[in-house]
Amino acid sequence: MVMNRKCIIRLSRYKNALKRLKSLGFVKVFSGNLADAAGVTSSQVRKDFSLFGITGNRRGGYRVDELIERISLILGKNELQKVVIVGMGNIGKALMRYRGFEAGGIKVLAGFDIDPAKYNKLAEIPILPLEDFREFVQSQGVKIAILAVPDVSAHHVSEVIISAGIKGILNFAPIQLRGADDVVVSSINLEVELENLIYFVNAGAKTEPEIEA
């Protein structure tokens, strides 16, 4: 099992590039094409593929359909992935309305909050009380949650959702979550992102630090 995060990110990029190429009518693709699309070298593409046992034809490249299928399987995207959003503030609501997930096989099943004024149990994507979280995710088999609560509540809420069985958290709160060993936490900290950008802009960075959240 490949545990290199950067490699998995590149797989996602290859998949996106492949979908574009497919929509343009491409049937075959070479490592160099994907390399250009993803901004890496062709050796890197072939090396990544070899890590997952993906093979093509010498001189014939790779079949686009097959490759998309193969990568989707690796990324778990051949089946619909169910997620929930916890925290219906600015970010949480925006993510709830974000339509980009559906095309990628990601389905937001519900939002959760502690503020009764935000509940809306009848909406297409319902907003439910946090008290209902455990029952909901267990009955629906949800393993992934997006955490978009204020920093002061983030630690507490993370414990609640982990105890309910969540195994992966995309954390937008600007704190370092300490999850259980079998829980994967991925953080997006907007201020840290901006600080980074500011640093490299001020540094007059020639070497663009190919940043992918």
Partner DNA sequence: GTTTTATTGCCTTAGTTTTCACAATAATTT
Partner DNA sequence: AAATTATTGTGAAAACTAAGGCAATAAAAC
The interface with a second copy within residues 190-209 (CB under 8 A) comprises: 190-209
Taking CB within 5 to 8 Å according to partner kind, which of a second copy, DNA, none is near residue 168? a second copy
Taking CB under 7 A as the binding criterion, the range among 18-26, 38-46, 116-124, 156-164 that sits at the site for DNA is 38-46
Taking CB within 5 to 8 Å according to partner kind, which of a second copy, DNA, none is near residue 106? a second copy
CB within 8 Å of 108: residues ≥ 6 apart:
83, 84, 85, 95, 96, 101, 125
Query: How many amino acids of this chain bind a second copy (CB under 8 A)?
Result: 73
Q: Residue 142: how many CB atoms within 10 A of its CB?
A: 23
196 binds DNA (CB under 7 A): no
R_g (Cα) of the chain, nearest Å: 20
List binders of DNA among 54-93 (CB under 7 A). 54-62
Helix axes 42-51, 5-23, angle to 10 degrees: 110
Separation in Å, CA 104 to CA 8, 62, 83, 168, 192: 16, 22, 13, 18, 27
Chosen residue from 7, 75, 109, 160 binding DNA by CB under 7 A: 7
Chosen residue from 101, 120, 134, 160 binding a second copy by CB under 8 A: 101
Binding site for DNA (CB under 7 A): 4-7, 30-32, 40-44, 46-47, 49-50, 54-62
